Amino acid sequence: MRSLSGLPLLAFLSVLSVANAHGWLLGHQKSSFPEPNYSGTFGDFASFVSHMKEIAKKRDVDLLLVDTGDLHDDAYLSSCIYEGTGLIDGYPAGGIDAHDANEFFKKLPYDVLAIGNHELYTYNNTLDMYKNFAPRFNGRYLSSNVNITVVNEHGQLQSVPVGSRFAKFKTRKGKQVTALGVLYNFTGNDKNTTVQKVADMVKEAWFADAIKAEPDFFLLTGLVLIYDSGLWNRHMPIARDNWPLVYNAIRAIHPLTPILILGGHTHIRNCLQMDGRSMSLESGRYMETIGWMSAKLDKKGSTKNITFSRRYLDPNRVTFEYHTQRNVHNFDTSSGQSIDSGLEKLSKKFDLSFQFGTAPHDFTISQSPYPSNNSLLSLFIENAVPVALAINNTRASIPNIMITNSGSQRFDVYAGPFTKNDQLTASPFADAFLYIADIPASIAKQVLPTLNKAGSNQRRELEEREREMYGRGHVDTVYMRWLEEMDKRNDGIDRRAAQNLTLGYVTADSCPGVGDDTPHAPLPFFSSPPFIGSQVPNVSDDTPIDLVFVDFIQAQLLQILNSVQTSKSYTTGDVKTYSPILANAALGLYAQKVWN
């Protein structure tokens, strides 16, 4: 259902923006909603951009194309926050994450791109961006506060920007632009890369020089959280220190110059106006949203509010054809078709269509309660892990309790073929399974509920950990709270039948008017505990059992185990490897055994 008209190409300027693509370049390919909303491929997007550029030219207005970062992931790196697909994470060992997929970004006419935190977890990834990606964009790939250490022509180590600090250019219509690409205060970067704090960056001489001359507008882009005095102040106080610093530094010199901010990182749709002559837009995640901003710019020195418009587009063929006034016969461009052909070849090269089995129905992380038959968390820890870890395991006959963190599952599993790509997307963490033998069942049964109780009671410790995890790139808390608030706002409303709506995002932001291009009913949301466990074995309390857990939670688990009993002080010396099978293989092994 669509109730809104075509995109408002206002006088002078419009911007298309993508955030947090993370390799979702062949679109979301499942038939269960909301996935069809996001089924457009990167080739479809390329065709859409081409047609929109033509429309802008005919209407004699500017249209810019911007990417705010996070093209990468890294499924082979234990410290990384995984969010990608097989097109970037399916590379063979020894390869460079996203190197092949990045070739397709080079085919689009980007005006500005910014670096993301996922480009910094591994030095070789950053080096690849410095050597092979940034040069393609002739100074428009921006890393205002991000450096890499390289060997210069004199054989000396030198710290240099990965891309460019800033860019100054003219639009097709002759508007002067000053652009910056700023990364938030990220702390999870690899050695020989540096991320300067934003508060320090705005004090640099180069920054003062870059913003000294007044352009027709400033374009700020990058993976930083948009400042919001509402929802995120209540939940995420750590989110207050990024764009306002840059914005305030510019406003101190240019109080009236239009400022357009394209942000990202938190995976949500969001919009905010800090004043009447600026707008900030965040365009979601995983190629699930194309952000649209349009501004009716006026003459320098004007004090009037600027007319802005923003829209969140679901990237699918229906959306793209509707807004370009094309149809199935004349929408595809040769470039778009070439990109999709190349992506299909890359998918085949990485063997991403290899099928483990057929999922009988949808298994979701937050759309179904945990525990339940439709919960991916239940499927993973109650079914998949016990089946997978029993393979060639001499301890399989010994009763056990298995525990992992609920964040181990990253994306829903939908009905139909379960492929290598689905496995990489849903369960990418290469965690090892460890165990402690001969724990009395009565003690082992207390560990999981005590872990979760500790997690809910230690509020201050949780907030500090949340702050630390955010700094290292973990944004699930923000995204999940956004989904939860979306569900609560529509509590008690028939989600689909009343208005014949499909499930999808229902955005409430701080900007005027309706933002979502296509109306949806909100996704149901159910919270889950920090830790999840397998079925408790039906044995007497004094029966010795194996306590099995992933290495990621070892320190916490030992602490809890020692708190629920006093007969022994358990240490890492009591911990042994339970199985050579890693967590990221469990769903595939289960599918091969049970879903065939």
Confidence of residue 558 (pLDDT cuts 50, 70, 90): very high
Claim to verify: residue 139 and residue 41 sit in the same structural domain: yes
For residue range 205-239, list pLDDT tens digits in order.
999 999 999 999 999 998 665 544 344 443 333 34
Q: What's residue 194's pLDDT?
A: 98
Question: Using CA atoms in the order 32, 33, 38, 41, what is the torsion angle rounded to 10 degrees?
Answer: 20
Claim to verify: residue 314 and residue 453 sit in the same structural domain: no
Joined together, the tokens standing for residue 4 give 């809104």
Q: What's residue 9's pLDDT?
A: 56
Q: Which of 299, 331, 348 is the last residue of a domain?
A: 348
For residue range 328-377, list pLDDT tens digits in order.
999 999 999 999 999 999 999 999 999 999 999 999 999 999 999 999 99
Claim to verify: residue 357 and residue 344 sit in the same structural domain: no
Joined together, the tokens standing for residue 35 give 């996935």
Domain membership flag for residue 495: no
Among residues 356, 323, 325, 369, the alpha carbon closest in space to that of 524 is found at: 369
- Domain harbouring 571, CATH code: 3.90.780.10
Q: What's residue 531's pLDDT?
A: 95
CA distance 133 to 125: 10
Claim to verify: residue 319 and residue 358 sit in the same structural domain: no
Domain total in the chain: 2
Confidence of residue 94 (pLDDT cuts 50, 70, 90): confident
Claim to verify: residue 364 and residue 331 sit in the same structural domain: no
Claim to verify: residue 461 and residue 546 sit in the same structural domain: yes
Grouping H, G, I as helix, E, B as strand and the rest as coil, residue 290 is strand
Non-local (6+) Cβ contacts of 281 within 8 A are 17, 226, 261, 262, 263, 270, 271, 291, 293, 310
Share of the chain above pLDDT 90, in %: 76
Among residues 91, 153, 172, the alpha carbon closest in space to that of 128 is found at: 91
Domain membership flag for residue 248: yes
| Range of the structural domain that residue 533 is part of | 353-476+527-594
Claim to verify: residue 341 and residue 359 sit in the same structural domain: no
Q: What's residue 574's pLDDT?
A: 98
Average pLDDT, whole number, for the chain? 90
Domain membership flag for residue 488: no
Q: Per-residue pLDDT for 469 more than 60?
A: no
| pTM of the predicted model as reported, rounded to 2 decimal places | 0.93
What number of other Cβ atoms are within 10 A of residue 499's Cβ?
A: 13
Claim to verify: residue 423 and residue 536 sit in the same structural domain: yes
Assess contact for 165 and 206: CB atoms under 8 A. yes
Claim to verify: residue 467 and residue 571 sit in the same structural domain: yes
Claim to verify: residue 283 and residue 382 sit in the same structural domain: no
For residue range 70-84, list pLDDT tens digits in order.
887 754 444 445 567
DSSP run (H or E) holding 148: strand 146-151
Claim to verify: residue 103 and residue 165 sit in the same structural domain: yes
Assess contact for 511 and 273: CB atoms under 8 A. yes
Q: Which of 348, 379, 405 is the last residue of a domain?
A: 348
- Domain harbouring 234, CATH code: 3.60.21.10
Joined together, the tokens standing for residue 383 give 């079914």
Domain membership flag for residue 515: no
Domain membership flag for residue 508: no
Among residues 572, 595, 548, 8, the alpha carbon closest in space to that of 310 is found at: 8
Q: How far is CA 527 from CA 254, 383, 426, 457, in A?
A: 45, 20, 18, 16
Domain membership flag for residue 320: yes
Average pLDDT over residues 507-526: 93
Domain membership flag for residue 7: no
Bigger pLDDT: 223 vs 180? 180
Grouping H, G, I as helix, E, B as strand and the rest as coil, residue 454 is helix
Average pLDDT over residues 437-459: 86
Confidence of residue 268 (pLDDT cuts 50, 70, 90): very high
Claim to verify: residue 158 and residue 269 sit in the same structural domain: yes
Among residues 305, 260, 306, the alpha carbon closest in space to that of 281 is found at: 260
Cis peptide before 34 (omega within 30 of 0): yes
Q: Per-residue pLDDT for 595 more than 80?
A: yes
Domain membership flag for residue 1: no
Q: Which of 323, 348, 373 is the last residue of a domain?
A: 348
Share of the chain above pLDDT 70, in %: 88
